[in-house]
Structure 1
Amino acid sequence: MTLTADGEKPSTRPPHPLRAEAVRGFAPWTGAAVLLTLGVLLTGASARWQGGWAETGAQLHDSMLVIAPLAAAAGCLQGGRERRRRTDELWETAVRGRLARFLASAVPVALWAAAGFAAAAALALLATWPYARGDRPHLGLLPGDAVLLAACALVGHVVGRLVAWRPAAPVLAMAGYVGLAVPATASPGAARHLDAALSAPVGSDPVWWQPMVMAVWTGGLASAVVLAYAARRRYTALVPLAAAIAAGALLVRTGDGLWHEDPLASRQVCDTSTTPQICVNARYEGLLPQVHEALSDVTGRLAGVQNLPVRFEDRPGAPRRGEAQLPMLAPFGWSVVRGRLADPQQYAWEAVAELEDRGDCEGTMDPRVRRADDAVEHYLAPSPHQGYFDELAAEGGAAERAELTARQRARARLASMGEEERRIWLSAYFAAAGDCGARGVPAL
């Protein structure tokens, strides 16, 4: 027996081929490609998700439209490797069975694709954490997404073994993108819930069993394809196929019931120290101090004014009786960017416009009402772009200049009133909120 220099018996057991493929082969580059691609996608859209846990989870899930075809293309490239090297016939003479050889080459790519996604998801959650203003992480869809990536890589590997065509990988990626995107944009129907990349409603969560059933659906189909190609007894592919069909039937039968609304999404958190009260969606409770600060001048100047709505509400749809609509905090990227109000002055002006409640008066509003609205907005929260629009009117025709002069006169008249007189005027003005005609709107 030959000993090493240290007197130890040398290892005669060769490294497992799965380990060699996972460490030194093409698989690690697949994980890096998934991580880099997802990083680019998330960075480009960071204003729309960074700062909201639900938005981050939805953005990660929506990225499957691009990442899943990428994983399939990577698997296809790996599957055609032996043919490109002209070693496919030699590979068939190996002692190991066909399924074992297939898995040794395909599984590392699938695992690295899922690992790249997991790393990108962890980085995205870390990027959201400093800016989150309420809610909690929404992680329900991530395990199913990781299984989808692994399944796409395995199916792509089978395609690479079967199709002797160099452009097979990019063509497969394009076909995968179309296959995932079309059901999501087609007419609504229960079958669209079979699409593992279907956009998740922001503010909703999947039922507890949905990710597991979706994983059985995608993983079962991929396993059936692999067994049908590489197993010695190909009829064993019927077992995962049956499981996939059962999971798909459950997804279709449940339909929209796969999702339930997050309780926080329908709850409001209010600051009752002002009139009107200021309420925001409970998912963004931490933004309430910023909204209060943005509206502090408005609520301060409305102190003692009668006929105001009871509260500002941050909810979709028409406001209920006695309420006024706040500018919506969501979707992110407009009013809110990375946990901060993007433009508090613009936000306050939009809130005052909702107080006036004349959204249905377009084209029918009396000019005197329009001037009164302009004067109230200028007094409570002037638009940050008001100076620009005034300059345009001043450079226009005689009618535009006359209207500008009338608006400026109305602004000056309201600003010059004493506090009690202005309070009485504003009370009468808000009593006529929502009217398109001049009746009931006090003159300026």
Structure 2
Amino acid sequence: MSAPLLLEDRPATKATPRRPAPHPLRAELLRGLAPWAGLALTVALGAYLYNTSETWQGSWTDTLSVLRAGGVILGGPLALAAGCWQGGRERRRGTDVLRATAVRGPLAQLLMAALPLACWLVAAYVLTFVGGVLASRPYATPGGFTPTAFAGSAAVLVACALTGHVVGALVPWRLAAPLLGVAGYGLFGAAGTTESVLRFLGPAPEGFRRSVVLVWWHPFLTAGWFLALAAAAVLACAARRRRAALVPLVAAAVAGTLLVQVGDGLSRPDPRAHRQVCTTDTAPQICVNGTRARQLPEVTEALRPLIDRLKGVENLPVRFEDLPGRQAADEASLPMLSPLGWYLVRGRIVEAEQFRWEAATILIGGSDCPFVRREPAKVALVDDAVTRWLAPSHISDEIRRQRLKIARANGDKADLRRLKTEQRAYDHLRTMSPAERRTWLSRYFAQDRCDRTDREVPSL
């Protein structure tokens, strides 16, 4: 029988090392409301950008305006509501008393719960901002892009998340979160559309206008204003010494004063919009403003059939111009390229036939004239024939067929005679020899486009 092992003779067992507990911030970042709020903002902004893509792809000022407006109008209320719901979490769980006995102070606990939500919202916004910029880059003309534009809207999201958390911690009401989001939506919408001096204190002091370029430091000044207000609210709610809130309040007062004093200097008109880029191989020349310089070949190609029919014709305007205000006497306005989504979509001219028809109408003397007048019968007849020949349009042909059908059905002999007279004038112009037609058109364009009489217009 063997002797029992003494205690000191027993083999030593290895102690299992204890894994360090994960930091609470990591748990807040990976679980709970914050990731879902970030996903919701990504989906909302992505859907908004996708559904409005035709109106901003191809212009840096339009792209930045839409990205900033979307971040504020959609992201701001979401951040307020999500922050408010997060701020009332401990009270809903019944652990607020337990949290009050924790080692960390109230300020650290508040920031530990609120900052992950702010980080997720900022990450979602930056992701969609970069996506929008990359989507517009292939079509937009260089210039007019402000790389710092995202900073203001991102800071607004952080400020809204922190402010909402403070409201949620103080207001014991479950409906506080949705009502705060609705109030934020109304407030930001009003701040972006008002014309009063208060608009300079809003999240976009230039009012989401698409015709302006931001100065590079403007988003940082707006960010300082909103973050200082949010920091004051956080310190007043959770700091051991509430007087510490006076420091960010002073900073907010300085930033707000600067915003109001600088005013419209926070943005400036896009200088490219007052500069023209023109073709050199067409008569008339085709000019677009500097913001659309990359689209000049596409515009020229769309107007090429019209320009070809005017080859050899004299007394034409020198150019189609694309500048704000009235054109010079020897110019004709180009059909509108702004806002995007009308004729110009992602750098391409859509409805090129209608675009040519409108250009021909303007060239002949329609919308360029400074007053509304009633054309004499012969002038209207000749203008219609010239427009039909220069820019054939299936829409105009369909309207004419419908008019003829209605006139026959109603037995309207006067309208039938008018339609037949218009058709004879068009057929006469169409069947002329090229040389004869060039001579006739040269006489036609020699007259004042805005004040012609039956006697001055050559007959058809």
Counterpart-to-counterpart distance in 2, 1:317 and 1:50: 25
Aligned partner of residue 394 in structure 2, secondary structure: coil
Task: Give the conservation status (yes or no) of the 8 Å contact 1:377–1:383.
Answer: no
Give the corresponding residue for 2:399. 389
Which range is displaced more, 54-63 or 312-321? Answer: 312-321
Using the TM superposition, give the Cα deviation of residue 363 of structure 1 relative to its aligned residue in structure 2, in angstroms: 5.3
Cα gap change, 1:413/1:230 in structure 2, threshold over 3 Å: closer, same or farther? same
Q: Which is worse superposed, 174-183 or 202-211?
A: 202-211
**Aligned counterpart for 1:39 among listed residues 25, 46, 69:** 46
Q: Which amino acid aligns with 1:282?
A: G
Q: Select the residue among 439, 449, 452 that pairs with 1:424.
A: 439
| Aligned position for 1:245 | 253
Flag the 1:66–1:372 CA change in 2: closer, same or farther, 3 A.
same
Q: Say whether 1:366 aligns with 2:381.
A: no
**What runs of 5+ residues in structure 2 fail to find an aligned partner?**
1-11
* Residues 65 and 197, structure 1, Cα contact 8 Å, conserved in 2: no
TM-score under structure 1 normalisation? Answer: 0.94
SS at match of 2:286: strand
Alignment-derived partner of residue 67 in structure 2: 60
Change (3 A) 1:16 1:416: same
Aligned to 1:411: 426
* Partner residue, 1:277: 285
Aligned residue identity for 2:158: A
Contact 2:144 2:270 in 1 (8 A): no
Q: Work out the CA distance in 2 between the residues paired with 1:209 and 1:332.
A: 28
Opposite residue 441 of structure 1, the aligned amino acid is V
Whether the 8 Å contact between 1:73 and 1:156 is mirrored in structure 2 is yes
Aligned equivalent of 2:210: 202
Is the Cα contact below 8 Å between 1:80 and 1:161 reproduced in 2? yes
Local SS of the residue matching 1:139: coil
Q: Which stretches of structure 1, 4 residues or longer, exceed 6 Å deviation after superposition?
A: none
Deviation readout 1:232-263 (Å, 9 max, x if unpaired): 11111111111111111111111111111233
| Counterparts of residues 312-331 of structure 1 (less than 5 Å) | 312-331=320-339
State the alpha-carbon separation in 2 of the partners of residues 92 and 438 from structure 1: 92
Q: Bigger CA drift: 269-278 or 394-403?
A: 394-403
Partner of 2:234: 226
- The whole-number CA distance in structure 1 between the counterparts of 2:389 and 2:267 is 45
Larger deviation, residues 326-335 vs 263-272: 263-272
Does residue 89 of structure 1 match 2:97? yes
Distance change >3 Å, CA 436–CA 92, structure 1 → 2: farther
Query: 1: distance between equivalents of 2:146 and 2:34?
Result: 29
- Compute the displacement of 1:420 (Å): 2.4
Q: Distance in 1 between matches of 2:146 and 2:380?
A: 45
For 1:105 and 1:414, the matched residues in 2 are separated by 78
- Does the C-alpha gap of structure 1 residues 98 and 296 become closer, same or farther in structure 2, counting only changes over 3 Å? same
Match of 2:388 in 1: 378
> Could you tell me whether the CA contact under 8 Å between 2:155 and 2:227 is conserved in 1?
yes
Aligned partner of 1:193 in structure 2 is 200
Letter in 2 for 1:80: G
Residue 233 to residue 389, structure 1, CA distance change in 2 (3 Å): same
Percent of paired sites with the same residue: 46
CA distance in 2, matches of 1:22, 1:184: 32
Q: Secondary structure at the match of 1:280?
A: strand
Equivalences for residues 432-443 of structure 1 within 5 A: 432=447, 433-443=449-459
Aligned residue identity for 1:438:
D
Contact 2:284 2:318 in 1 (8 A): yes
The residue type paired with residue 391 of structure 1 is R
Secondary structure at the counterpart of residue 27 of structure 2: helix
- 1:392-429 Cα shifts (integer Å, max 9, x gaps): 21022322222211111111111122222222221222
Distance of 1:136 and 1:160 partners within structure 2: 41
The amino acid across from 1:383 in the alignment is S
User: Could you list the runs of 5+ residues in structure 1 that have no partner in the other structure?
Assistant: none
State the alpha-carbon separation in 1 of the partners of residues 392 and 176 from structure 2: 59
Return the TM-score normalized by structure 2: 0.91
1:27 aligned to 2:42?
no
Conserved? CA contact 1:3–1:10, under 8 Å: no
State the one-letter code of the partner of 1:443. S
Paired residues of 1:135 and 1:284 also in contact (CA < 8 A): no
SS in structure 2 at match of 1:100: helix
Deviations along 1:18-52, one digit per CA (max 9) or x if unpaired, are 22211223211111111111111111111111233
Amino acid at match of 2:226: T
Deviates more, 1:360-369 or 1:35-44: 360-369
Instruction: Provide the rounded CA distance (Å) in 1 between the counterparts of 2:145 and 2:457.
Output: 48
AA at the equivalent of 2:136: T
